């Protein structure tokens, strides 16, 4: 086989695990054999519709088998898969589709309005609609406002039109596998181009450090359009021949039921997710004995949540990473979660992490500096942004995370601050510059700073600190109304503070540290 990318995995897995269940979604189950067959048919159907190696295929939808079928079909062709965040607003979807240049958008029927408006005035010439309202093959085709311009087809009909012949394309580990958009400090998202090699090496890190096995059953309650869910949970499980249970939305009671029903061994989420589970009335009565791997990212797990899980004999593996590292950089072994509470752990097996001062010298233990990461899981390119990767990479090849932290004397990494002021709210990354850019469209605003403030449920949420122009008037409700539809809802500030003066440095930059202290 000449395809060494992730698209070949199902074909390589077919003779080893053909009759084993690969995917469970609601009442629907797919064996590895059926999963491989459907991905081949879809790949051939996409080829018939003009998709070739290097082309981009975008997907907009919640967790569903069609997401993975499209991913593996694109991989079979050597095309690049572009998962889109379902929580974005239409203009944000438009920008990403324009930037990646995808001609095909596969999207769920339940997101028809977002898919239609988001693909307006973009290169998308064909929309393929997934019926995600039922677990049957029957589907209905949406009727969009732009049907005269964009061809619209039903996903199952497209898949059925493809032949069952497997055609081996030459795909190497250095070829692009997927583009995942990550917001940047300039206010415009950047497309991180993950190669097949980046994904493979990240999966190897996961398998080594978390002891993934072919007997694992991974319950995926986090959206796969996030790289952590896809690359830290779904793909390592499928690589090992385990079973993935897909759930479109996180709901605590439903999650507890599925853990017990499917004897799930693996559960991933953010601290908020695990807090909501242990605070649910069904927590004590649910059989959780099958769980062996609890992985958590975004921020440290609160001690009260650790206590609740440890009382049930469960332990967390916390971690740190980013889209650009595909995404794992460090992980805290579950058996050290109490001893090293607050730490993001040790570097993954095939990944290196160093701490440097602002002169680029390696910092000694317990000394805060910038976190740099190196390894075969780290990207080497942003889509259409050659200057961005140059700015993010040192002369000796380390990726500059933009995050501040330190290593203790045992080599465990602790995150102390975010150089780029990123806010992590319920596992979602929010970059203030993007929100600030939208707010400054209002003529009443003289200057604005968006900061993160603590929140018991989400860890932190955005707050807008605004200095109004002299004589201008603006209310919190008016601001939120302006942002509604321009930004994803999770990016819209949950509170607004109007100030008479904005604290600034000698160079004129807003001092966000002072604003955080005032808001605490």
Residue 73 is part of a domain; what is its CATH number?
A: 3.40.50.980
**Does some domain include residue 189?**
no
Host domain of residue 391: 197-418
Residue 300 has pLDDT above 90, yes or no: no
- 407 and 476 belong to one structural domain: no
**Same domain flag for 359 and 240:** yes
Asked whether residue 338 carries a pLDDT value surpassing 50, the answer given is: yes
227 and 326 part of one domain: yes
pLDDT digits (tens, 9 = 90+) for 451-493: 999 998 898 999 999 999 999 999 999 999 999 999 999 999 9
In a domain, 431, yes or no: yes
pLDDT at 186: 53
Give me the pLDDT at residue 355, please: 97
For residue 133, the model assigns a pLDDT of: 73
396 and 441 within one domain: no
Sheet holding 28-31, edge to edge: 28-31, 21-25, 243-246, 217-220, 266-269, 293-296, 316-321, 328-331, 346-347
Residue 411 CB neighbour total at 10 angstroms: 12
In a domain, 339, yes or no: yes
Determine the length of the chain.
520
pLDDT of residue 118: 97
pLDDT at 505 over 80: no
Would residue 192 count as lying in a domain? no
Is the confidence at residue 382, as pLDDT, over 60? yes
368 or 243: whose pLDDT is higher? 243
If 0-12 CB within 10 Å is exposed, 13-18 middle and 19+ buried, where does residue 486 land?
middle
CA distance 256 to 457: 19
Q: Dihedrals φ, ψ of 419, to 5°?
A: -60, -35
Q: To the nearest 10°, the Cα dihedral for 248, 116, 177, 6?
A: 40
The predicted structure's pLDDT at residue 95: 96
> In the Cβ-directed half-sphere of 394, how many Cα atoms lie within 13 Å?
21
Q: Which of 369, 389, 418 is the last residue of a domain?
A: 418
Query: In terms of domains, do 374 and 271 share one?
Result: yes
Whether 40 is covered by a domain: the verdict is yes
Last residue of one domain, picked from the residues 352, 383, 418: 418
Q: Average of pLDDT values for 43-62?
A: 98
E strands, 161-311, in order: 176-182, 190-195, 217-220, 243-246, 266-269, 293-296
Asked whether residue 374 falls in the same domain as residue 350, the answer is yes
Domains of the chain: total: 3
The yes-or-no verdict on residue 397 having pLDDT over 60 is yes
Nearest alpha carbon to residue 73 among 97, 100, 52: 52
Same domain, 405 and 456: no
Confidence of residue 514 (pLDDT cuts 50, 70, 90): confident
- Both 89 and 232 in a single domain? no
Same domain assignment for residues 463 and 427? yes
Cα gap 102→291, rounded to integer Å: 39
496 φ, ψ to 5°? -130, 135
The CATH number for 394's domain is: 3.40.50.12780
Per-residue pLDDT, averaged over 142-151, amounts to 56
Report the chain's mean pLDDT, rounded to a whole number.
92
Task: Check which CATH number belongs to the domain holding 507 and give it.
Answer: 3.30.300.30
Instruction: Indicate yes or no: pTM above 0.85.
Output: yes
Helical H segments across 339-441, by residue range: 386-392, 432-439
pLDDT, tens digit, 9 for 90 and up, residues 105-128? 999 999 999 999 999 999 999 999
Residue 388's Cβ-side half-sphere holds a number of Cα atoms within 13 Å equal to: 21
Residue 24 lies in a domain: yes
Q: Are residues 398 and 444 in the same domain?
A: no
246 or 456, higher pLDDT:
246
Query: How far apart (Å, rounded) are the C-alpha atoms in residues 182 and 180?
Result: 6
Residue finishing a domain among 384, 418, 452? 418
pLDDT digits (tens, 9 = 90+) for 194-218: 999 999 999 999 999 999 999 999 9
Residue 445 in any domain: the answer is yes
Residue 508 confidence (pLDDT): 61
Residue at 263 is within a domain: yes
Q: How confident is the model at residue 183 (pLDDT cuts 50, 70, 90)?
A: low
143 and 235 in a single domain? The answer is no
E runs forming strands in 201-351:
217-220, 243-246, 266-269, 293-296, 316-321, 328-331, 346-347
* Whether residues 245 and 369 fall in one domain: yes
What element of type H or E holds 31?
strand 28-31
């Amino acid at each position: 086989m000449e395809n060494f990318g992730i698209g070949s995995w199902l074909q390589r897995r077919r003779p080893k695990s053909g009759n084993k269940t690969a995917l469970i979604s609601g009442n629907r189950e797919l064996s590895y054999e059926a999963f491989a067959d459907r991905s081949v048919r879809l790949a051939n159907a996409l080829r018939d519709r003009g998709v070739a190696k290097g082309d981009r295929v975008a997907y907009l939808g919640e967790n569903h088998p069609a997401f993975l079928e499209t991913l593996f079909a694109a991989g079979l062709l050597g095309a690049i898969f572009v998962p889109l965040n379902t929580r974005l607003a239409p203009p944000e979807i438009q920008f990403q589709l324009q930037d990646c240049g995808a001609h095909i958008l596969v999207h769920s029927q339940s997101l028809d309005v977002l898919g239609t408006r988001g693909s307006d005035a973009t290169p998308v010439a064909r929309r393929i609609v997934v019926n995600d309202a039922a677990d049957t093959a029957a589907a209905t085709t949406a009727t969009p406002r732009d049907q005269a311009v964009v061809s619209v087809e039903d996903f199952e009909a497209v898949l059925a039109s493809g032949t069952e012949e497997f055609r081996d394309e030459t795909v190497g580990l250095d070829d692009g596998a997927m583009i995942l958009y990550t917001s940047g400090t300039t206010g415009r998202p950047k497309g991180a181009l993950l190669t097949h090699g980046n994904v493979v090496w990240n999966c190897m890190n996961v398998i080594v450090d978390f002891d993934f096995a072919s007997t694992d059953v991974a319950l995926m309650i986090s959206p796969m359009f996030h790289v952590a869910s896809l690359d830290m949970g779904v793909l390592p499980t499928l690589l090992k021949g385990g079973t993935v249970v897909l759930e479109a939305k996180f709901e605590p009671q439903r999650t507890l039921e599925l853990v017990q029903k499917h004897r799930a061994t693996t559960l991933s989420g953010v601290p908020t997710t695990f807090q909501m589970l242990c605070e649910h009335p069904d927590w004590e009565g649910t059989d959780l004995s099958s769980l062996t791997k609890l992985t958590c990212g975004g921020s440290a797990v609160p001690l009260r949540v650790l206590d609740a899980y440890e009382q049930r004999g469960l332990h967390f593996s916390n971690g740190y990473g980013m889209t650009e590292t595909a995404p794992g950089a460090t992980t805290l072994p579950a058996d050290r979660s109490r001893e090293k509470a607050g730490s993001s752990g040790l570097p993954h097996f095939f990944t290196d992490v160093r701490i440097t001062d602002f002169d680029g010298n390696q910092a000694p233990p317990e000394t805060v500096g910038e976190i740099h990461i190196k390894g075969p899981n780290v990207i080497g390119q942003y889509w259409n942004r050659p200057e961005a990767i140059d700015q993010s990479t040192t002369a000796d090849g380390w990726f500059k995370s933009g995050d501040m932290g330190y290593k203790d004397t045992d080599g465990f990494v602790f995150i102390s601050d975010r150089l780029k002021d990123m806010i992590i709210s319920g596992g979602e990354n929010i970059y203030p510059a993007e929100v600030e850019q939208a707010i400054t469209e209002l003529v009443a605003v003289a200057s604005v700073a968006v900061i993160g403030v603590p929140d018991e449920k989400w860890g932190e949420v955005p707050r807008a600190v605004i200095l109004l122009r002299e004589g201008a008037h603006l209310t919190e409700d008016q601001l939120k109304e302006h942002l509604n539809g321009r930004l994803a809802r999770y990016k819209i500030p949950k509170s607004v503070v109007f100030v008479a003066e904005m604290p600034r440095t000698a160079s004129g930059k807003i001092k966000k540290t002072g604003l955080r202290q005032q808001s605490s």
